[in-house]
Amino acid sequence: MSSRSSWAEPYKIKMVELLKMTTPQRRKKVIKEAGFNTFLLKSEDVYIDLLTDSGTSAMSDVQWAGMMRGDEAYAGSRNYYNLEKSVKDTYGYKYLVPTHQGRGAEHLISSILIKKGDIIPGNMYFTTTRLHQELAGGQFRDIIIDEAHDAESLHPFKGNVDLAKLESLINHHGAAKIPYVCIATTVNMAGGQPISMDNLRQVRELTSKHGIRIIHDMTRVAENAYFIQQREPGFKRKSIARIVREICDLTDGATMSAKKDALVNIGGFLALNEWEVFEEARNLVVVYEGLHTYGGLAGRDMEAMAIGIKESVDQNHIHARVGQVEYLGQRLIEAGIPIVQPIGSHGVFLDARRILPHIPQDQFPAQTLAAQLYIDAGIRAMERGVVSAGRDPITGENRFPKLELVRLTIPRRVYTQAHMDVIAESVMRVYNRRSKIKGMQMVYEPTYLRFFQARFEPI
Ligand code: PLI
């Protein structure tokens, strides 16, 4: 393990991508044309892109070299076998089905395991994960601890499961109605908050007692392992790789968006320990993604993923990754800006409820704040509040989550400390004129995952 205490980057820069600066006049014009939805902006109009950490990371020279070794055979590509080995060695799951990205894996596992009327408990929803559960006929139930819904709670493991909530669901519906419990490591919608190993062990014990599977959303598992190492007694001297493996060993299968932790621009997989479920997934993948040895990916993409998985569990890498996010978060805390605490692993989440208390939630405070941030300095963030939560599929009513957030998501290995300063200064400027900011109304609402394409107008 490293004796370094600074989070300074364990890499140097070999190539740069030039950014375009825009004027406030242009930004006002283009955000209006984009329906005040940052997803609808052209990326060339963005200075610092904090929309997501998904597929936006910088690959290493080793990954790029791997891209040149793509074996683009339709079947049995050498890169598939390299990926299979990397997944087995790092995560320990027995069987691998590659998919084009995380939601491809969610689609497969939901279609295979969920029957109409089933209940899927999870430690907070994620947008695509819950939608696939619902499209398969299931209903999601939130079993995360209450502290996760409180932006101000300093609980060190806000991703933890409330075991009483889980037990009560099992008692009420019966284990036969629960095909699996969905456990995310580093809970995205809670602000990048980890689950503790101790809590995961208890979830394992309870689910094993009832014969219920745990399907692991392992999209940011290495980041979760870092928090366990730093915060949970007994883990200080364990490597990230070992902690990651210990987490995976407590679960029965996993969906992975490799576009996050695993440092690739595209790719994902479904990993399983049960042969029968794997056999079905291997068959179904040919319908929706591609043959089971490429799952919608090019050989070169699988090679980059195989390498990225190994880089993701390096101590110096993860220390710098989370360290950079913490640097930005600390600057905002020092300036008195309300953010979700503790600071998460993949981004800093602004608490729009406390920043814009005069805007009611049905006038989309987080959506509004994200648009204002863009206008200020060309920084693109993402709404994670009432727009992302969508409507209840049964009642059709808007879901009003307690957390109404703007996510400043930090891509891995992309921006510098000076960029973090620019971001902090822009947030402070917007914060200082917050009382003048007015809410918005939604003027176009798509059926699925509305946050991607909805349009708004100022009231
Ligand atoms: O975007 P996909 O289909 O590769 O992965 C879906 C997905 C699943 N689980 C979790 C926890 C995610 O964060 C996730 C995707 N997240 C995106 C795109 C994000 O911006 O956070």
Domain boundaries, the chain: 24-53+315-458, 61-312
For residue 1, pLDDT beyond 90: no
Predicted confidence (pLDDT) per residue in 26-84, tens digit: 999 999 999 999 999 999 999 999 999 999 999 999 999 999 999 999 999 999 999 99
- CATH of 61-312, picked from 3.40.920.10, 1.10.645.10, 3.30.499.10, 3.40.640.10, is 3.40.640.10
Predicted confidence (pLDDT) per residue in 67-126, tens digit: 999 999 999 999 999 999 999 999 999 999 999 999 999 999 999 999 999 999 999 999
Catalytic choice (49, 118, 217, 301): 217
Span from the CA of 29 to the centroid of ligand 1 (angstroms): 30
Q: What does the pLDDT read at residue 287?
A: 98
Catalytic choice (74, 400, 444, 452): 74
Pair of tokens at residue 270: 């479904």
Span from the CA of 315 to the centroid of ligand 1 (angstroms): 23
Residues 270-294, mean pLDDT to the nearest whole number = 98
What CA–CA distance (Å, rounded) separates 196 from 165? Answer: 17
Torsion on CA atoms 374, 267, 328, 31, rounded to nearest 10: 0
Q: What does the pLDDT read at residue 4?
A: 65
Amino acid residing at 221? V
Percent of the chain past pLDDT 70, that is, above it, reads 99
101 CB near ligand 1 (under 6 Å): yes
- Residue minimizing CA distance to atom 2 of ligand 1: 102
Superfamily (CATH H level) for 24-53+315-458: Aspartate Aminotransferase, domain 1 (3.90.1150.10)
What number does the ligand 1 atom closest to the CA of 258 have?
4
For residue 327, pLDDT beyond 70: yes
361 CB near ligand 1 (under 6 Å): no
Catalytic choice (80, 95, 126, 269): 126
For residue 257, pLDDT beyond 80: yes
For residue 317, pLDDT beyond 80: yes
Residue 87 near residue 96 (C-beta atoms within 8 A): yes
229 CB near ligand 1 (under 6 Å): no
For residue 296, pLDDT beyond 80: yes
Q: How many residues does the chain have?
A: 459
Predicted confidence (pLDDT) per residue in 145-201, tens digit: 999 999 999 999 999 999 999 999 999 999 999 999 999 999 999 999 999 999 999
What CA–CA distance (Å, rounded) separates 393 from 398? Answer: 10
Other C-beta atoms within 10 Å of 409: how many? 24
pLDDT, mean over the chain = 97
Q: What does the pLDDT read at residue 107?
A: 98
Residues 309-328, mean pLDDT to the nearest whole number = 98
Give the confidence band of 3 by pLDDT, cuts at 50, 70, 90: low
For residue 278, pLDDT beyond 60: yes
What CA–CA distance (Å, rounded) separates 457 from 156? Answer: 38
Give the confidence band of 339 by pLDDT, cuts at 50, 70, 90: very high
Q: What does the pLDDT read at residue 5?
A: 77
What number does the ligand 1 atom closest to the CA of 51 have?
20
Using alpha carbons only, how large is the chain's radius of gyration in Å? 21
**By C-alpha distance, which of 419, 342, 327 is closest to 50?**
419
Phi/psi of residue 185, each to 5°? -95, 140
The structure tokens 């009642």 sit at: 395
Q: Is 249 a catalytic residue?
A: no
